[in-house]
Amino acid sequence: MAGWIAANPQIFVVALQNHLWLSGIALVAVLLIALPLGLVLTRQRGLANAAIAIVNILRTVPSLALLVIMLPLLGTGFLPSVVALTLYGLPALLLNTYTGLTQVDADIVEAARGQGFSDRQVMMKIEIPLALPVIFAGIRTAAVQIVSAATLAAFIGGGGLGELITAGMANFNFPQLVAGAVAVAALALVVEVGFAAVERLLTRQVRMGAA
């Protein structure tokens, strides 16, 4: 594995860069969609059940199936891969955002309103800070899911480390296949450990603030 990477550094670096771009853009898209939508659903409870039902359906669809569904809609390449990965990562963050916000102690919210806080102030100063550890857990889950699933983007021309795996399988190049597989596993582990550390820090700060 290390020998293949040393012999083909440019191929490996390009695949890694593409994988990071795919994952990063998809995660940013998830953040831009899930966080505002989660906030809206806490204020529009009538829509919440329908939205949660839809995202629960998305959770049951395998990542490869989402990628294949993009083929007749958007074709092949980077864009359909990003769209599919966004849909794949969306449920974890949306559900955690909604759950975290709705589980904030109602007595604390009422006390803030009694002190004259507006709805926006309650959300920004009370609900979001207290729900932040749960929300960030959703970000961590979505990030790991996206990084892992981005491997399959190679099947629809999205690039990434998955191309090393597919090319290794097609050419019976075992070192190349292992290099791609180990790189994906290592990247997912780094994302998991890094986000988990930040999550623990946020949880500790929230507890200290509450105390």
pLDDT of residue 34: 92
To which H or E segment does residue 22 belong? helix 9-43
94: CB partners within 8 A, 6+ apart: 33, 34, 37, 38, 51, 55, 138
d(CA 113, CA 55): 32
d(CA 117, CA 97): 22
- Residue (of 195, 184, 189) closest to 16 by Cα position: 184
Q: What DSSP string describes 73-139?
A: HH-SSHHHHHHHHHHHHHHHHHHHHHHHHHTS-HHHHHHHHHTT--HHHHIIIIIHHHHHHHHHHHH
* Cβ-contact 176, 114 below 8 angstroms: no
Q: For the chain, what's the residue count?
A: 211
User: What CATH number does the domain located at 2-210 have?
Assistant: 1.10.3720.10
pLDDT of residue 72: 82
pTM, two decimals, is: 0.88
Q: What is the pLDDT of residues 157-195, one digit of tens each?
A: 888 889 988 888 888 888 888 888 999 999 999 999 998
d(CA 125, CA 60): 35
The span from the first CA to the last CA of the chain, in angstroms, equals 51
Coil, helix or strand at residue 173:
coil
One-letter amino acid at 18 equals N
The one-character DSSP state at 211 is -
- Sign of torsion over alpha carbons 163, 169, 174, 178: positive
Tokens of 143: 């990030």
Residues in the chain with pLDDT < 70?
Answer: 1, 206-211
- Residue (of 191, 199, 202) closest to 27 by Cα position: 191
